[in-house]
Amino acid sequence: MNPAIIRDEVKHCIADFAGVPIQNLSDDTSLFHDLGMDGDDALEFMQEFSRRFHVDLAQFVHSDYFGAEAASNPLALVTGLIGLISTTGCTATFHRLEIRDLVQTAMTGSFAQAK
- Kindly report the CATH number assigned to the domain that includes residue 26: 1.10.1200.10
Does any domain span residue 114? no
Does any domain span residue 89? yes
How many domains are there within the chain?
1
Does any domain span residue 36? yes
Q: Categorize the per-residue pLDDT at 113 as very low, low, confident or very high, splitting at 50, 70 and 90.
A: low
- Residue range 56-84: mean pLDDT, rounded: 71
Residue 93 has pLDDT above 90, yes or no: no
Residue 92: count of CB within 10 angstroms of its CB: 9
- Cβ neighbors of 61 (< 8 A, separation 6 or more) are 113
pTM: 0.78
Does any domain span residue 83? yes
- Residue range 52-62: mean pLDDT, rounded: 94
Does any domain span residue 77? yes
Residue 7 has pLDDT above 90, yes or no: yes
Instruction: Name the residue range of residue 14's domain.
Output: 3-108
Does any domain span residue 27? yes
Fill in the DSSP letter of residue 72: G
Tell me how many degrees the CA angle 47-23-40 measures, rounded to the nearest 5: 25
C-alpha 42, offset from chain centre: 6
